[in-house]
Amino acid sequence: MTQVVIMCGSGGVGKTTMSAALALRFAEEGRRVMVITIDPARRLADALGLAELGNTPQRVPTSRGELQAMMLDAKRTFDELITRHAPNGDVRDRILANHYYRFVSERLPGVHEYMAMERLLAIVRADDVDVVVLDTPPTRHALDFLTAPDRMAGLMDEGVMRWLVLPASASGWRMIEMGSDVLAGVLKRLLGQNTIEDIADFFAGFQSLWGGFRERSVAARALLRAANTRFILVTAPAPGARAEALAFLEVLRRDAMPFAGFLVNRCAWPPAPAPAWPAAAGGDDPASWEATTRAIEATLTRHRALVATQEAAIADLLAHAPRGANAWRIPEATGEVHDLSGLRGLGMALADSGALDVLRGPA
Ligand SMILES: Nc1ncnc2c1ncn2[C@@H]1O[C@H](COP(=O)(O)OP(=O)(O)OP(=O)(O)O)[C@@H](O)[C@H]1O
Ligand SMILES: [Mg+2]
């Protein structure tokens, strides 16, 4: 059965980078791996061979195993689902050309997260990779991502459809009040332009597809809680990162999603013991020697203080997390991580941190 690793956390902490590093590492240990990334930096996308066709998995050259990478495109994934599951060409074309469908597939809040779930489910069901690593978008609310299948299942409910296709009834407007501001704003604009017919037409066309969408959203929900699924929370070794990491953890705990551990990314490393000074370091000039020595000492002192601050932040995080929670420290790599050798370095750090043992181990 395919193992699922989901990398989540706040914006900019290194989810995409560490997803790629973990996937490459697993592949080079001899497994068949798929990584679904979200919007990687250009050079990382290049390194993964994703520069051109994002939504289609691409082979990444590895020394062993098999790595495929893709960059999720929610709109295209949705189009492909419609194309695959529509009962005939007429229904397919009607939906794909529909004004409201374009909004749903591009801008409906949560659609990106839901499509990530659809892809994840399809990969697990195909059962031709050993591990799938899912990078997640920087959601303002952790909930947006984790509850996407539930919300999509709700949207697929006949009841909701009735609300939307029968706007004249009193309850017809409730959806608009309940939805996010974006949804409400766009719907109001659509309605203002008399395109309520578009909405009705979309749901009429979609009718034959509901069952499948609903079944898959229920399955995706179960997949998030499956025995072979693990969530990693990427965070920073800074006091300010605690609140968000713990909020995320709370969501995982409440929804019974399997938490593997914190990946504390971009840590400064304790300095190695100072080597013996080479005789030439300060030259012959005693003043220059003195100044050099003092500058190095000051730097080391600041570095030790930085490491101590980080360790205090990690200890504080763990003190507020469930007893025995893992905190895997990953060092700050020198320079941008934009190629396979940079990712291999981080993969090594993942192995050294102990994270891989936990991810490999039994549930
Ligand atoms: N261990 C590391 N050492 C050095 N740089 C790192 C490390 N991890 C990530 N970075 C750098 O940090 C930046 C942000 O990383 P990344 O894009 O992976 O974060 P993210 O969590 O996916 O961001 P977003 O929330 O915007 O999707 C990138 O420039 C990346 O190269
Ligand atoms: Mg990212």
Residue 200 located in a structural domain: yes
Mutation to probe ligand 1, out of 8, 16, 265 (largest number of atoms < 8 A from CB): 16
CA 87 – CA 92 distance, rounded (Å): 8
The binding-site residues of ligand 1, defined as CB within 6 angstroms of any ligand atom, are 11-17, 41, 138, 265-266, 330, 332-333, 336-337, 346
42, 37, 180: which is closest to 111 by C-alpha? 180
Sheet of 327-331, strand order: 58-60, 66-71, 32-37, 131-135, 3-9, 229-235, 259-267, 327-331
The alpha carbon of 38 and the centre of ligand 2 are apart by a number of angstroms equal to 6
Residue 26 located in a structural domain: yes
Lowest mean pLDDT among 53-57, 145-149, 226-230: 145-149
Joined together, the tokens standing for residue 167 give: 């706007």
Ligand nearest to the CA of 140: 1
* pLDDT reported for residue 137: 82
Q: What is the mean pLDDT of the chain?
A: 83
Which of residues 171 and 252 earns the better pLDDT score? 252
Atom of ligand 1 nearest to the CA of 38: 27
Which of residues 274 and 113 earns the better pLDDT score? 113
Using only C-alpha atoms, what is the Rg of the chain?
A: 25
98, 92, 76: which is closest to 164 by C-alpha? 98
Q: Is 106 within 8 Å of 183 (Cβ atoms)?
A: no
CA 59 – CA 34 distance, rounded (Å): 9
Average pLDDT over residues 141-158: 63
Residue 257 located in a structural domain: yes
Average pLDDT over residues 281-289: 70
Atom of ligand 1 nearest to the CA of 266: 1
Q: What's the domain count of the chain?
A: 1
Lowest mean pLDDT among 66-80, 123-137, 276-290: 276-290
Looking at ligand 1, which residue's alpha carbon is closest to its atom 25?
11
* pLDDT reported for residue 355: 97
The alpha carbon of 116 and the centre of ligand 1 are apart by a number of angstroms equal to 20
Residue 275 located in a structural domain: no
Does residue 69 have a pLDDT over 60? yes
Average pLDDT over residues 111-130: 90
Mutation to probe ligand 1, out of 10, 17, 112, 262 (largest number of atoms < 8 A from CB): 17
Kindly report the number of other CB atoms within 10 A of residue 152's CB atom: 24
Domain boundaries, position 52: 3-267+328-360
Atom of ligand 1 nearest to the CA of 17: 18
* pLDDT reported for residue 173: 42
- Burial letters for 84-113: b for 16+ Cβ neighbours within 10 Å, e otherwise? eebeeeebbebbbebebbebbbeebbbbbb
Q: Is 235 helix (H, G, I), strand (E, B) or coil?
A: strand
* Top-confidence range, 40-49, 207-216, 240-249: 240-249
Residue 320 located in a structural domain: no
Which of residues 158 and 134 earns the better pLDDT score? 134
Which of residues 189 and 227 earns the better pLDDT score? 227
CA 52 – CA 109 distance, rounded (Å): 26
Q: Which helix (H) or strand (E) holds 66?
A: strand 66-71
Q: Is 113 within 8 Å of 8 (Cβ atoms)?
A: no
Residue 31 located in a structural domain: yes
* pLDDT reported for residue 196: 62
Joined together, the tokens standing for residue 13 give: 């902490």
Residue 79 located in a structural domain: yes
* pLDDT reported for residue 174: 41
179, 1, 216: which is closest to 104 by C-alpha? 179
Residue 217 located in a structural domain: yes
Beta strands 66-71; 32-37: pairing state: parallel
DSSP per residue, 253-320: HHTT--EEEEEEEEEPPPPPPPPPPPTTTT-S-HHHHHHHHHHHHHHHHHHHHHHHHHHHHHHHHHHH
CA 33 – CA 132 distance, rounded (Å): 6
Average pLDDT over residues 152-172: 49
Q: Which helix (H) or strand (E) holds 132?
A: strand 131-135
CATH number, position 118: 3.40.50.300
